[in-house]
Amino acid sequence: MSPLLLGILEEGQSNVSIAGSSTSLDSICQNGAGFRERNYMGLSDSSSVDSSSISSLSEEKKSSMNLKATELRLGLPGSQSPDRNAELSLISSANLDEKPLFPLLPSKDVISSSSQKPITSGNKRGFSDAMNGFSDVKGTVFSEGNWMFSATGGNSETAHSAAQGKYPTNTAMSRSSLNLGVTSHSMKDQSGVESSKLKEVLPSKGSQEKPHGANEKGQNQMTLATNTSTPPAAKAQVVGWPPIRSFRKNTLSTTSKNNEEVDGKPGPGVLFVKVSMDGAPYLRKVDLKTYSAYPDLSSALEKMFSCFTIGQCGSHGAPGREVLSESKLRDLLHGSEYVLTYEDKDGDWMLVGDVPWEMFINSCKRLRIMKGSDAIGLAPRAMEKSRNRN
Amino acid sequence: MKALEHVFVTLKSHKDRSCVSLVCKDWYEAERKSRTHVFIGNCYSVSPEILIKRFPNIKSVTLKGKPRFSDFNLVPPNWGADIHPWLVAFASAYPFLQELRLKRMVVTDESLELLVQSFPNFKALSLVSCEGFSTDGLELLATHCKNLTELDVQENSFEDLEGSWLSYFPETFTSLEVLNFANMQTEVSFAALEQLVARCKSLKVLKVNKSVTLEQLQSLLVQAPQLVELGTGSFSGDLTAQQHTELADAFDNCKNLQTLSGLWDAASIYIPLLYPACANLTFLNLTDAALQSEDLAKLLPNCPHLRRLWVVDTVEDEGLEAVGSTCPLLEELRVFPSDPFDEDGIPGGGSGVTEAGLVAVSRGCPKLHCVLYFCNQMTNAAMATVVQNCPDFTHFRLCIMTPCQPDYLTNEPMDEGFEAVVKTCTKLQRLSVSGLLTDLTFEYIGKYAKNLETLSIAFAGSSDRGMQCVLEGCPKLRKLEIRDCPFGDTALLSGLEKYESMRSLWMSACNVTMTACKLLAKERPRLNVEVINEEENDDTRAEKVYVYRSVAGPRRDAPSFVITL
């Protein structure tokens, strides 16, 4: 899993939400040398292309199938999703009947377990994992409907191409802007669900693919690709939504950026950075200036996002202690459920606590509370970086 | 006849004139000769030739071009709505043309050149949401229009060639009353601006762009204390104590301000400078200021006459509570999202305003009748409360930013909320819906919204029935714009009787087929049924449909991707 994670990081993408609690994944990761950086967004790396093409064939079908099912098509009972896209409709009609996304008519229990939840809002969702301690996930349990299954594969194709528009098979994807937008971002936020999905998907795919390793990589790559590509894809995808005039978009984004930049200057003033948590329905902002050390930040965030812990901050936050041993960190991480990470000025995601506090607040652009298991791959990079700094 | 014309000259409203022209032939003739201002809501509904034939004495023209969804990139470029053929016709028919107000049209520098050459009396140009021109065109206007009183180029996408177009206004030029270049990206020549403002003593409206600094603002204000509408430039940066005092004095002197906008990146410390200038303020536009709640709460008490307020959701619910408790005269509220496309891909980001904010405003502002609200969450109960507090809504536009989001507390669709809106607000003219909506919403709209004229629908509805209910139920419906809804052929065709009484219908990413469109076109030859298909592959689906009534027949300037059926 780590190489995949690295791949994402290579992209400088935020919001890495790879589910990776499956042991089969870990076993792949453990093959030490596999910490190669892969470029999953582009086609430059031939090996990733190969693995993608291996899986793409079988994915193709799945992708179209799933895409249809995942497509935000207001598939309320009685209305069939239209053929948005000729290429997408490789689906058999059987699939159209498959689990409409908004089964409103139905009984209450369907609603409560409905798949409408995940689609409706990227952030208000009942991930099975994120459910732990998240009382404000409005009581809905995400039901693992068919559409989620292998949707990882499917969506990655589409989200992938949506993000780049390069995949020839998916040129028409751009039209289904809405689909991708919502599905992509819903995919992205499905980290909790994906973990369980992945477990199921992998074994089944294992039988299809040739080398288990390649398969894993391929599968993970797809998942990865989903997650990698989703943030920008989601951002750009739903054309014209929300309905903001473009001149206003520029102004507002500049304004908020300016505010953050102004706020981000060390010295007087405030230093607001966004904090997101995997599975959380909302983001918060914290003023880093109001804290003087990692434990302060940690406890504040803990209060904010109740079920969260920074594994290693206490022990490694002290200035001077920059070098971390890989295994020690991993041990710590394994022990905690969540890990605090931050995106630095280079766009890299680092574990919080690696560097002295001052250095940290100078370089921190945003914070993210990641699943501990997702963050395993971060450790080596953090250490490399701090080594380089030394 | 002449007597009638004299009488009709006093008629200003288009509706009145329309009625009058229908009475009898004489009245028609008198009306058409006495009309000086014409408003054309859809430039393709009539042709320049027809216009100039009917109205020989026009001095002022207002034209709207592209469908509104083009503001959100749903209309491909080069779609049309070029002003040029109109100007060509006007050049010969209306040499005394004075005013041109355009919205969503394409205006090239060439057209601007034609304009300045053809109309020596030209006074007012207002371009909103237009495109195609550059500052070169503005230079032409500045150079040649000796009697220009109004130049308003807000919210357009034009090429800012960093020239110094302002300096093209000759030194003898003093007639300007309205100058608005608030959304221009690049720096203007401040010296030229300053001199212009200094010599145009009748200047009432000045809205500059971000490049104008606080320090520069001070000298502008000193030159123009008579301003009624002010749009500042950047409202942050460093000021010396002296500069601060001077600026404070300048604002102190602005006793006539009714509208205040701009305030880019307003820094908290400078907002108090505005307080003395807000005594008579009726419209405060903070969409570029992105204030926090505290700053807003402190600013508002200085605006006792505030009727219209536009803010960014950085003020959060707390800020809106302050609005509710401080602005009893408030009639219009717009809350824009600060982060509509949050990096995490969550539309609307994670902060901003909630239903609580809107409820708070409604409690304190019973006169509120116009709202545009971007939020991340809403409940049916909150909506019901809002309209109970403010039953006089005429414009209700709610945008729950994540598509298809239900009531976040009950998980129910938002049908009930909108039911409350249309049932309670009998004067409702404009409605934009959002959130998870079934056909029920549209049943309610059809049943209750008898004064509804404009309806915008996105990601809503369950079946054709929804759209049908609206078409059959809303007698005053003029504009219907729909995107990404499961409305198909049956729905489209259910409006067969209706579309000629409407200005236009827009449907994109719905379930409409070409067959239905062709049928509609065949049955209603006085409608233009246009399909935009950008992708070549699917011949059966009508990806984007634009239907509008027209006396001009099918467009002659349609690009290849627009198929007129």
The pLDDT of B363-386, averaged and rounded, is 96
Phi, psi of B125 (to 5 degrees): -125, 125
| Chain segment B101-117, per-residue pLDDT in tens | 999 999 999 999 999 99
The pLDDT of B507-515, averaged and rounded, is 93
The pLDDT of A37-46, averaged and rounded, is 44
What confidence category does residue A343 fall into, taking pLDDT thresholds of 50, 70 and 90? confident
What is the C-alpha to C-alpha distance for residues A345 and A365, in angstroms, rounded to an integer?
Answer: 6
Of B329, B420, B332, B413, whose CA–CA distance to B373 is shortest? B332
Given a cut of 50, is residue A75 above it in pLDDT? Answer: no
Phi, psi of B512 (to 5 degrees): -90, 140
Q: Quick check: A15 and B72 CB within 8 A?
A: no
What confidence category does residue B171 fall into, taking pLDDT thresholds of 50, 70 and 90? very high
The pLDDT of B331-355, averaged and rounded, is 74
Contact B370, B332 (CB under 8 A): yes
* Residues in chain B within 8 Å Cβ distance of A256: 290, 314, 338-339
Asked if residue B548 belongs to a domain, the reply is: yes
* Residues in chain B within 8 Å Cβ distance of A246: 71, 73, 157
- Position A370, amino acid: M
Residue A86 confidence (pLDDT)? 38
Contact B502, B549 (CB under 8 A): yes
Residue B546 confidence (pLDDT)? 96
- SS3 call for B418: helix
Q: Quick check: B399 and A281 CB within 8 A?
A: no
Residue B468 confidence (pLDDT)? 96
- Position B243, amino acid: Q
Angle of helix A151-164 relative to helix A212-237, nearest 10 degrees, comes to 50
Residue B350 confidence (pLDDT)? 52
Contact B386, B370 (CB under 8 A): no
Strands (DSSP E) contained in A129-241 are none
Phi, psi of B127 (to 5 degrees): -120, 120
Contact B97, B69 (CB under 8 A): no
- SS3 call for A343: strand
Contact A195, A29 (CB under 8 A): no
Highest mean pLDDT among A250-254, B319-323, B401-405: B319-323
- SS3 call for A83: coil
| Chain segment B175-224, per-residue pLDDT in tens | 999 999 998 888 889 999 999 999 999 999 999 999 999 999 999 999 99
* B-proximal residues of A, 104-133, CB under 8 Å: 104, 111-112, 116-117, 119-124
Residue B557 domain boundaries: 502-564
Checking phi first, is residue B206 left (phi over 0); if not, alpha (psi -120 to 50) or beta?
beta
Contact A188, A232 (CB under 8 A): no
Residue B436 confidence (pLDDT)? 95
CA angle A177, A183, A189 (to 5 degrees): 135
Cα B231 to the chain's mean position, in Å? 17
What confidence category does residue A156 fall into, taking pLDDT thresholds of 50, 70 and 90? very low
Work out the percent of chain B whose per-residue pLDDT is above 90: 83
Q: Does A252 touch chain B (CB under 8 A)?
A: yes
| Chain segment A158-217, per-residue pLDDT in tens | 333 333 333 333 333 333 333 333 333 333 333 333 333 333 333 333 333 343 333 334
> CB-based contacts of A250: which residues, under 8 Å, 6+ apart?
none
Given a cut of 70, is residue A236 above it in pLDDT? Answer: no
C-alpha to C-alpha distances, A87 to A67, A90, A161, B185, nearest whole angstrom: 11, 6, 13, 41
Exposure string for A9-21, b = 16+ CB within 10 A, e = fewer:
bbbebbbbbbbbb
Q: Is B490 exposed, middle or buried (0-12, 13-18, 19+ CB in 10 A)?
A: middle
CA angle B494, B498, B503 (to 5 degrees): 125
Identify which of B314, B341, B483 has the shortest CB distance to residue A235. B341
| Chain segment B245-291, per-residue pLDDT in tens | 999 999 999 999 999 999 999 999 999 999 999 999 999 999 999 89
Phi, psi of B528 (to 5 degrees): -95, 120
Residue A353 confidence (pLDDT)? 82
Asked if residue B128 belongs to a domain, the reply is: no
Q: What is the ipTM of this complex?
A: 0.86
Highest mean pLDDT among A54-63, A158-167, A327-336, B538-547: B538-547
Per the DSSP assignment, residues forming a β-bridge with B545 are B507, B531
Q: Does A262 touch chain B (CB under 8 A)?
A: yes
Given a cut of 80, is residue A134 above it in pLDDT? Answer: no
Q: Does A85 touch chain B (CB under 8 A)?
A: yes
Asked if residue B560 belongs to a domain, the reply is: yes
Q: Reduce the secondary structure of B3-70 to three states and give it as a string.
A: HHHHHHCCCCCHHHHHHHHCCCHHHHHHHHHHCCEEEECCHHHCCHHHHHHHCCCCCEEEEECCCHHH
The pLDDT of B117-140, averaged and rounded, is 94
Residue B352 confidence (pLDDT)? 86
Where is pLDDT greater, at B129 or A280? B129
Q: State in Å, rounded, how far the first CA of chain A is from the last one.
A: 28
Contact B42, B66 (CB under 8 A): no
What confidence category does residue B4 fall into, taking pLDDT thresholds of 50, 70 and 90? confident
The pLDDT of A243-264, averaged and rounded, is 54
Strand B150-152, strand B131-134: pairing: unpaired
Q: Reduce the secondary structure of B420-470 to three states and give it as a string.
A: HHHHHCCCCCEEECCCCCCHHHHHHHHHHCCCCCEEEEECCCCCHHHHHHH
Contact B204, B226 (CB under 8 A): yes
The pLDDT of B56-71, averaged and rounded, is 95
Exposure string for A212-245, b = 16+ CB within 10 A, e = fewer:
eebbbbbbbbbbbbbbbbbbbbbbbbbbbbbbbe
* Residues in chain B within 8 Å Cβ distance of A172: 535, 537
Q: What is the DSSP letter of A143?
A: P
Given a cut of 50, is residue B335 above it in pLDDT? Answer: yes
* Residues in chain B within 8 Å Cβ distance of A274: 343, 350
Contact B437, B410 (CB under 8 A): no
Where is pLDDT greater, at A205 or B495? B495
What is the C-alpha to C-alpha distance for residues A162 and A177, in angstroms, rounded to an integer?
Answer: 8
- SS3 call for A208: helix
**Which one of A104, A189, A227 would you mutate to disrupt binding with B, by most B Cβ within 10 Å of its Cβ?**
A104
Per the DSSP assignment, residues forming a β-bridge with B179 are B151, B206
* Residues in chain A within 8 Å Cβ distance of B348: 242
- SS3 call for A194: helix
Of A18, A227, A368, A121, whose CA–CA distance to B346 is shortest? A121
What confidence category does residue A237 fall into, taking pLDDT thresholds of 50, 70 and 90? low
Per the DSSP assignment, residues forming a β-bridge with B375 are B400
Helix (H), strand (E) at residue B212 = none
What domains appear along chain A, each with residue ranges and CATH number?
Answer: 272-309+324-371 (3.10.20.90)
Asked if residue B535 belongs to a domain, the reply is: yes
Residue B156 confidence (pLDDT)? 83
Angle of helix B439-448 relative to helix B464-473, nearest 10 degrees, comes to 10
Residue A340 confidence (pLDDT)? 83
Identify which of B72, B338, B543 has the shortest CB distance to residue A240. B72
Q: Is B225 exposed, middle or buried (0-12, 13-18, 19+ CB in 10 A)?
A: middle
Q: Quick check: B312 and A255 CB within 8 A?
A: yes
Given a cut of 60, is residue B359 above it in pLDDT? Answer: yes
| Chain segment A78-111, per-residue pLDDT in tens | 444 444 433 333 333 333 343 433 333 333 443 3
The pLDDT of B5-15, averaged and rounded, is 86
Contact B220, B200 (CB under 8 A): no
The pLDDT of B7-23, averaged and rounded, is 88
Exposure string for B515-529, b = 16+ CB within 10 A, e = fewer:
ebbebbbeebeebbb
User: Measured on CA atoms in the order B483, B489, B491, B495, is the torsion positive or negative?
Assistant: positive
Task: Read off the tokens for B309.
Answer: 């307020």
Asked if residue B546 belongs to a domain, the reply is: yes
- SS3 call for A202: helix
Asked if residue B376 belongs to a domain, the reply is: no
How much helix, strand and coil, in percent to the nearest 5, is found in chain B? 35, 20, 45
What is the C-alpha to C-alpha distance for residues A213 and A50, in angstroms, rounded to an integer?
Answer: 13
| Chain segment B394-441, per-residue pLDDT in tens | 999 999 988 899 999 999 999 999 999 999 999 999 999 999 999 999
Distance (Å) from the C-alpha of residue B349 to the closest C-alpha of chain A? 7
Q: Into how many domains does chain B fold?
A: 1
Q: Quick check: B74 and A239 CB within 8 A?
A: yes
Q: Does A242 touch chain B (CB under 8 A)?
A: yes
- Alpha helices of B62-150 — where are they, by DSSP H? 84-93, 109-118, 135-144
The pLDDT of A270-280, averaged and rounded, is 74
Given a cut of 90, is residue B68 above it in pLDDT? Answer: yes
Q: Quick check: B438 and A258 CB within 8 A?
A: no
**Which one of B68, B344, B353, B514 would you mutate to disrupt binding with A, by most A Cβ within 10 Å of its Cβ?**
B344
Given a cut of 70, is residue A137 above it in pLDDT? Answer: no
- Position A238, amino acid: V
Residue B302 confidence (pLDDT)? 96
User: What is chain A's mean pLDDT, rounded?
Assistant: 49
Asked if residue B340 belongs to a domain, the reply is: no
Asked if residue B390 belongs to a domain, the reply is: no
Distance (Å) from the C-alpha of residue A173 to the closest C-alpha of chain B? 10
Of A95, A94, A92, A100, whose CA–CA distance to A73 is shortest? A100
pTM: predicted TM-score of the whole model, two decimal places: 0.66
Work out the percent of chain B whose per-residue pLDDT is above 70: 97
